[in-house]
Amino acid sequence: MAERWSPDHLRLHRLLLRQPALLPKGATLLVAVSGGQDSMALLALLQDLRRLHGWTLQLWHGDHGLRPESAQQAAELAAWTAAQGLPLTLDTWRRPHPDEASARTWRYQRLVERATALGADHVLTGHTASDRAETLLLRLARGSHRRGLGGPRASRTLARNLQLVRPLLVFSRADTARLCQQLALPVWRDPSNDSPAYSRNRIRTEVMPVLEALYPGAERRICALSERLGEEEQAITELTELGLQSLRCGDDLGRRALMALAAANRRRLLHHWLARRGATGLGAEALDSLLARLEPQRGPGRIDLGGGLTLHWDRQRLWLTERRQPP
């Protein structure tokens, strides 16, 4: 392939120079390629930049088997990547379930397995700023906690020693469409992306155009807000860690000191402490109910948190015990 360079290549290159830990030089990258415009634009940028960063590229495509044409599209994508000299692993979902959550779970499970087999420590997806803006609107409508409004982050832990990275969060969907056209990239459309059966599609095709018509640049500003909320949440998490240090009694948590704080701080600190100890299944209502039981006038108690964990408390402190599973 002829060497290419554009302002879009420069934009991603500068991002990686500012954040070298995002995609380290010489790393093995497993790129999830659906064949749509976002993943194809990502792949082209990575191909052209790898001479500067020394990456090894491995590709993965998942055929969900939910559309009659999916097998043919997967075969065409495999032929194109072979012509580019790019190694592609093709997985087919043998028992597909027609819902987004199941498909996402299967996809990431297979990506983790493939990355582990290859020794890759970075899995890349083509999520864009447009996805981030749509996610904020969806979560806002569902009444998500402030923690969820930060939307997808540029990097998060997918499994042990494995990072999920989204390098295109500085690009919009319009940018990736322009890139595919400029670089003459093949794109395989997924008709389900136009189906009103999926809530995200309705946000994309019905809600966002109205917001853009009312307030031009709305998508860009919503995405920027999501990014700021994510950064602020990270800063709050760091402050929460500092706050916990003053409440800890060894591995336990001081009950009196916790309940002397404002309600919002109690909620955040207790939730964070429990999550750090592996108790992640406590919802907002259950957390509020638990805090009511921890009021100073109430006595000792205990609660099963699931996953073999039990929270205990007396007048002075809270502690967790774990029920060991039989061998």
pLDDT of residue 2: 47
The pLDDT of residue 325 is 52
Mean pLDDT value across residues 232-249: 90
What pLDDT does residue 149 have? 81
Write the DSSP symbol of residue 153.
Answer: -
CB 5 within 8 A of CB 48: yes
Tokens of residue 243, six digits: 């706050």
Put residue 250 in one of left, alpha, beta given phi > 0 → left and psi -120 to 50 → alpha. Answer: left
CB neighbours of 123 closer than 8 A, spacing ≥ 6?
29, 30, 32, 111, 112, 115, 158, 162, 163, 164, 165
* Closest by Cα among 264, 277, 317 to 147: 264
Q: What is the model's pLDDT at position 324? A: 64
**Which of 262, 314, 311 is closest to 322 using CA atoms?**
311
Whether pLDDT at 249 is above 60: yes
pLDDT tens-digit map of 276-318: 888 877 777 888 999 999 999 999 999 998 888 999 999 999 9
Across residues 6-26, what is the average pLDDT? 95
**Confidence (pLDDT) at 79:** 96
The domains of the chain are located at: 7-221, 250-322
CATH architecture of the domain 7-221 equals: 3-Layer(aba) Sandwich (3.40)
* 320 in Cβ contact with 312 (< 8 Å): yes
Instruction: Specify whether the CB–CB gap between 38 and 126 falls below 8 A.
Output: yes
* pLDDT value at residue 150: 77
Q: How far is CA 296 from the centre of its chain?
A: 39
Residue-wise pLDDT tens digits, 156-171: 999 888 999 999 999 9
Whether domain 250-322 has CATH 3.30.310.50? no
Instruction: Give pLDDT, residue 3.
Output: 60
Dist. CA 150–CA 161, nearest whole Å: 23
Mean pLDDT of all residues belonging to the chain: 90
Q: Strands, E, within 154-255: which ranges?
A: 155-159, 162-165, 248-249, 252-254
Are the CB atoms for 44 and 60 separated by under 8 Å? Answer: no
Tokens encoding 317: 């402190």
pLDDT digits over 87-106, tens only?
999 999 988 777 778 888 99
**Judging by DSSP bridges, how do beta strands 248-249 and 88-92 pair with one another?**
unpaired
Amino acid at 238: E
Give the per-residue pLDDT at 313.
95
pTM: 0.79
Q: What is the largest CA-CA distance in the chain?
A: 74
